Chain A
Amino acid sequence: MDLNCSKKTLLAGFCSIFLLGYSPAMYAGGANAPLSVQQTKKITGTVSDAMGPVIGASVVIKGTSNGVATDFDGNFSLNASQGQTLVISYIGYLTKEVKVDGRATYEITLEEDKKMLDEVVVVGYGTMKKSDISGSSVSLGEKAMKGSIITSLDQSLQGRAAGVTAVSTSGAPGSASSIRVRGQATINSNAEPLYVIDGVIVQSGSTSGSGLGFGSRLDNGSASSVSPLSTINPADIVSMEILKDASATAIYGAQGANGVVLITTKHGKAGEARFSYDGMAAWSRQTKRLDMMNLREFADYYNDFVKYGIGGLKEDPYYSDVSLLGKGTNWQDAIFQTAFQHQHQFSAQGGTEKIQYYLSAGYMNQEGTIIGSKFDRLSVRANLDAQLKPWLKIGLNATFSNSNDNLKLTDGAEGIVNFALTSIPEAPIYDIEGGYASFARENYSIHNPIAKAMEQSNKLNRKKLNGNIFADITPIKNLTWHAEIGYDLGYSFAEGFYNTIDLPNWKETNESTWQKNNNTFWQLKNYVTYSNTFAGKHSVTAMVGQECWESKWDYERVANSNLPSDAVHNPKLGQNTPSVNMGFGSSSMASFFTRWTYSYDNRYNATYTYRYDGSSNFGPNKRWAGFHSLAASWRFTNEKFFEKSPLSKFISNGKIRVGWGQTGNSNINSYVWGITMQQVYSDLGIGYRPQNVPNLDVQWEKQEQWDLGIDLGFLNDRINLTIDWYQKESKDMLMELQLPIYEGTHGNDNSKLKAPMGNYGHIRNSGLEISLNTHPLIGKFQWDSEAQISFNKNKLIALNGTASAAIMGYAQWGATLVTLSDVGESLYSFYGYVTDGVYKDLEDLETSPKPKKYPADGNFNSANTVWIGDLKFKDLNGDGVIDENDRTNIGSPMPKFTYGWTNTFRYMNFDLSIFINGTYGNKVMNLTKRGLTTMSSAWSNQHTDVNGRARLEPINPNIVYTDGSKWYQHADNIRVSNPETSIPRAIIGDPNDNDRISDRYVEDGSYLRIKNISLGYTVPKKFLNKFGLENLRVYCNIQNLATITNYSGYDPEIGVSTMSPNVYGVDYGRYPSPTTYSFGLNMSF
């Protein structure tokens, strides 16, 4: 009773606090009545900030209209009664509340609101006051990254910034996220934004499995789960600036078309050395299982094949008495594990007025939730700044990291997930001696999926050294020359080792493959900035600069097999013929750029940028291109007329922005304009073949973008609203020409003639972004809320200049067409047939449109013609025949909108943050399910959904056929007993192609996910002092706690495919994102 009672009180308390925050006026109104009878007295005070008195600050008694403004000396006086609250506010400062007590005078110090307008932000080749920016960009602070468990900084972008879509490619540890800024603007393999860390362009290097040296062992798409950004320690980052519109990215010219992410790392501050330690331990697991058949169910399923004479299957004595069987092996439980991870970061920072330092070392180690997958990273960073002379400042940023991935092939038909799901439950994992079991029956054997996962290792070691050295020279006042040399040296070592497999029905020699990649990148840049304010109101900044960079790469690959043992992984030990391969190449770019900004009286701002780029990726005819951009903004709240208007009390900040700009894309392989002769081996000797169709005129992809935006701050910026509308057009999109097979441009890379690369596409993205940041509660109980929602519409406007052109995307190994990007439609739309139930009986078959396997001679045959219980597809063009022309767009993987909402609560020393994100309106093609419901083999485990398949029954069970045949061989005596089903009959060989790509596999991929909940407690200083600690915060965090979705697979978050380019949103055994529980602490001393 007592307990209940106190619970209720607590609840009531919470509720009232909540209400108090939400509608202070109501609460105050109620409380005011009795107070008004109290005695009021005159109180006086001074409002000041760090610099001195604040003039014109408003001092109001909370809940009343009773208030005054401070005078020239910051003084105020008014009548108030004890217990009332003074609210002191001023633009640019955090609002402060003070309780009226017994005192007669009050000294009030306002703190500047750091989030406010005069914040300086990084804009690329310089910084700008946030208030002067006319382009569209989003900032992400340290907090956003700290709030969640991230191993790679791209993961932190999810749901945090309007207009930025981040989808993780895989749930593997340290895996990549694909980031799209304002929609998919190119079908080029690299649609990721440009990342710039402290001014140095991050070299993503090769991210495909084959580029790294794993061949097709990580699948053969142009993307893999390996993240180029996972080599960077997110703990060293202080802020990220995402440049979205062309006027912001245009300064990056040719490299800015996919958006730019500017990353600033931590720098030291003058003062005593300050040490900190951040540590975290976490456990992850997969919470969802697909409902697969267990052994008994599978035996029933098998026996059904035998009963109806399907595929000539024999009765299997093992399955004869189902009641004797157990549940068999649960292969899903076998491949998923609870995974442990931990992270540690030490840092030291400090310095003098002239020299500051920041040093850090971090280590993380993460296991994957699929057995055998792992990631670890060791990183160190040193950032130094030194003001050597009044006119000379130099600095150095350097980071080194060493990371190790242990990768598994999870996606695709040959991936662990699919293997585990389709392995029949009868097969055991281990034999009696504890070794891997292998399994064979007549006509069937499986390769143990656990052995497949554990005996094949793909290890990737990456080392990366990057950073820069710069000098800022100020020869005369207002003029700064910034000179900088940046570098990025990358090394990767991919070691593939297949252990000797020596199982009864599966024997393989071991195999060792090494590939070492080296990348050397340097950039040199110089820019001069002049900045001045004339006549107090005309503020001008002009910048002119130059940049050039060169990127060189080389690789060497050695492979051999049949090593004497698995103990030492060195291809040299192999006893077969070694294969050796090597290559090298380079690319370069030279650029000149300028930016002019003008600001009048903090009201009118304008920016013009121009960049002229030359890239070695283009032929001599089209090597150079120029990119312009213009943007303007108007801060109407600074206008006199507005300040006088009553709205000014309500709207504290308002800015309207308009921008237009051009950016480019040169992200293609070098020398596609000429013909490369590829080396080929043959029994006739080594030969060389022309590899591609050349295109001398391949040139810059140019993108144009319009942006209209408004920034509004209400109630002294307690509410901030930003709305942006944009339209961006990628004309001359760089892509491979899409050609029909008969032009010979399809197939294995080593077999086909490569289609020419050129400027063949035109894509338009338009959208709306809304961010709403509010501080509903300030004071002791604080509540911050940040919400954002992004709408994007994507349309392929033209292709190849021909009518029937389209971009095709395949499921895997290039044969199953799943997506078709057709002119006039959104990119990557799923393409296939529309289902219309099942054929119920012979009459239904005969009266419906004719499928391809309809027998011309009318002789229906259950094994090789369409049959009762097969899927009926819609005859969309109404020609009476169901053929290729009846395929259509069956859904788009592109969401209608994506959203994120972060709520942070702080009370006393507790902080609680809840982050929700999601997508709406996108479809997922569930190819995993396709394999699990195909029912075309008796040797592949199936989803229990197939229990609802079309079941056949005799119309007249009493007919006795004189030739001894059975009713199920006579189409005229069969009907479906469950005609409402949408799942076809089971039939080996699937003559009607029931599992063709159709809307049967398209599911709603919308989801709402509680992405992150974190609860922290900051230990009060008074306890810490005893231990010499300055700060100590402990926290716990749950990531991916729950996902609300209709999607039937493991995880609706499906993005780019590792299996195939031109495909998006296809789930074929994707590594699902786990739920992670973590505990950690931040400590400084």
Chain B
Amino acid sequence: MKLSNIKYITLSVIVGLALTSCEDFLDRPNEDGYNDGNYFQNDAQTKASTNTLYNSPWYDFLSRGFFKIPEVMSGNLYMGGEPYMTFTVNGTDDALVWTSWSLWAVNAQANTIYNRLKTANASDAVKSAAMGECLAWKAMAYFYLVRIFGDVPIVHDNSSEIAAGDYNNKVKVNKADVYEYIIMTLEKAIDLLPEKNDAGRIDRWAAKGLLAKVYLTKSGVNANGNGQRDASDLANAAKNAKEVIQESGKKLMSNYEDLFKGENNKCEESLFGWRWSAEQANYTCGNCLMSELAMSGFDEFQSWGDWTAPSTDLQDAFGVSPLDDPSQRSDVDKRRKATMMMAGDTYSQWWQDKGGFDYLRFLYDKDYAPGSNEGLQSATGANVAKHQYGNNSDHQKTFGISAAKQCSSQATHVLRLADVYLVYVEAMIGNNTSTSDATALDAFYQVRHRAVAGFNMPTSVTLDQVLKERRLELALEGDYWFDLVRMSYYDMNKAINTIKNQRRNGYYGLGDLYKSYYDSKRTTWVVDNSKMYYETNTPIPNVTASVFTLPFPDEDVVYNPHLLEASQHVDVRSEFAY
């Protein structure tokens, strides 16, 4: 009997213990990282809370849409078989869907961080700067959205919309109103941002530069494809651009090619930039453009850009041709080589451990480039040079960290000072055909003179000159398509004809041409016109007004059938506030 008493006591003790300690036993917030409650406690933490907006949510855009939409569609980049070449993109296209994911994720995170910052335990200056960065990136995301998809819904505050449960009833808002929404977002951002921020971060001037570009784009939005651009928008574009040019104290980088070198990741010309990191912990923080755009074997990691080639039309714009003898090529524009590599090009900043990079040697010397594909793969005789950092040893030397699969620390410039210079010129031309405004001429001169040494101060600049200059200056930086979209707002026919008149196809026989040249130790350049010529079999795509707006991803249309309805006018300034 005694024994069983002990048993009963033990039993009751165990049961009792279990009961009393339950709540402690069950309370387990996350243990291996911070949570919302114990972060945002000082200035340093608060400042770092916006770092994510400089890379990770943009990754799904960078990885495909960033070059397929603005560069392939615009005819700057050749990708055989791509629906972006032929304007046959569907709502199920991977790159399109990923683009949509990414841009909306930027908006969602900017909104969420912005709201959380309001109650952060930090100094007003730090809080305000961080909130300004949120709004500036939000504006950038919307700027891409409206130029890619046209009319889009406005998601002002994700958490409250999700809590309210009406997220499937949203309607598309007229793009003119979306532009107004971007402008009011940027106005608030300009209020919040400091004149000078840490290197690489957005400051007030960057936001103003973007505002200028938004105004310029918006100016034609009500012209219905054929009409005058709005004068006050143009004036606002000019005003903001001029302030950046004259008051920011920022200068263009003196050598164009240096802009794309890793040591200049955070140069002052880079107003908005994606600040990637090759740290592998979460790979969406790294830059993957190299693997998409570089030739296989260019560095030690996988890349598959052999066939993603700067187009014939872009070469035409630079005044070069793959049929030109490299030794006699009239290569007056430095930007050509910084944008694309062609026969005869060498680059001292890449492959430094092997004495520099040589394009033809890369294609034909297996000892030199064992990982390359055999011979020329590019249909246009050129490969992408922009966005490349070289090989892993170059990366390590520049960034102090090795690159990894689809991950480098190379920054991507999203808005450059030179872009703002040209925005100013275009805004000053406005509805005229040219301008002779002194500031505008100087802005144009500074951009072009940097690349073309022999270029002298012009006496006037025409709209077509600016547009071409923009194309060359910003080639492969995700911009040219949007110039055409902007044009389509006020002159649809010109936009359509620009594309129709492009040379979007590749060449035949360039491989043999390059190889025999290389084999002859670069002495004999023989173009056999019967075998080496521009391919004209592929028909010119049918271009209509509808190509300037990409479809919404199919899945959203399932959730929200309103997206197939006509867009609505929303008075954004009364509906939304910051």
Contacts and interface: CB of A to CB of B under 8 A. Distances in A.
Interface of A: 309, 311-312, 314, 440, 442-443, 445, 473, 475-476, 481, 483, 502, 504-509, 511, 524, 526, 528, 546, 548, 550, 554, 559, 561-562, 575-577, 579-590, 614-616, 620, 623, 670-671, 674-690, 693-694, 737-748, 750-753, 755-756, 800-806, 808, 813-817, 820, 852-853, 855-857, 859, 861-865, 883-885, 887, 936-937, 969, 988-991, 993, 996-997
B331 interface: no
Q: Which 4 A-B pairs have the closest CB atoms?
A: A744-B108, A507-B371, A687-B51, A579-B280
B437 interface: no
Interface in B49-85: 49-52, 54-60, 80-83, 85
Contact of B45 (A505, A688, A745, A884): A688
A815 B35 contact: no
B561 A885 contact: yes
A857 B28 contact: no
B42 interface: no
Given A562-B300, A884-B554, A989 B158 contact: no
A524 B88 CA distance: 62
Interface stretch (B18-26, B312-320, B350-358, B569-577): B18-26
B36 interface: yes
In this complex, which of A678, A681, A689, A864 has the most chain B Cβ atoms within 10 angstroms of its Cβ?
A681
A623 B28 CA distance: 11
B554 A861 contact: no
B29 A674 contact: yes
A743 B33 contact: no
Given A561-B402, A969-B539, A989 B564 contact: no
A679 B39 CA distance: 11
Contact of A508 (B36, B98, B265, B301): B301
B51 A750 contact: no
B100 A506 contact: no
A683 B399 CA distance: 10
A840 to B, nearest CB: 22
B277 A683 contact: yes
17 contacts: A311-B538, A442-B377, A475-B3, A576-B404, A584-B32, A620-B27, A671-B30, A674-B29, A682-B277, A684-B201, A686-B51, A750-B59, A750-B284, A804-B558, A804-B560, A817-B92, A887-B554
A589 B23 CA distance: 10
B285 A853 contact: no
B167 interface: yes
B374 A683 contact: no
Contacts of A678: 33, 282
A803 B161 CA distance: 16
A694 B160 CA distance: 11
Contact of B39 (A546, A586, A677, A885): A677
Given A508-B302, A588-B28, A682-B52, A753 B105 contact: yes
Contacts of B275: 682-684
B30 A742 contact: no
B66 to A, nearest CB: 14
B168 interface: yes
B26 A590 contact: yes
Interface string B291-313: 00000110011100011000000
B506 A741 contact: no
A747 B98 contact: yes
A880 B555 CA distance: 21
Contact of B91 (A442, A884, A990): A884
Nearest to A447: B302
B453 interface: no
Contact of B535 (A312, A583, A740): A312
B195 interface: no
A981 B498 CA distance: 40
B276 A683 contact: yes
Contacts of A855: 542, 544
Contacts of A679: 33, 281-282
B266 to A, nearest CB: 7
Contact of A864 (B30, B87, B105): B87
B559 interface: yes
Nearest to B273: A683
B37 interface: yes
A575 to B, nearest CB: 8
A561 B401 CA distance: 12
Contacts of B15: 526, 546
A675 B155 contact: no
Given A687-B51, A750-B56, A753-B108, A884 B564 contact: yes
A312 B31 contact: no
B383 interface: no
A1039 to B, nearest CB: 39
B86 A863 contact: yes
Nearest to B45: A688
Given A440-B373, A550-B25, A885-B561, A579 B31 contact: no
B108 to A, nearest CB: 2
Interface in B389-407: 392, 396, 401-405
Interface stretch (B109-117, B177-185, B211-219, B334-342): B109-117
B544 A857 contact: yes
Contacts of B11: 481, 526, 528
In this complex, which of B91, B200, B285, B392 has the most chain A Cβ atoms within 10 angstroms of its Cβ?
B285
A432 B535 CA distance: 36
A504 B4 CA distance: 80
A818 to B, nearest CB: 10
A585 B30 CA distance: 7
B283 interface: yes
In this complex, which of A440, A524, A588, A689 has the most chain B Cβ atoms within 10 angstroms of its Cβ?
A689
Interface in B490-526: 505-506, 508, 511
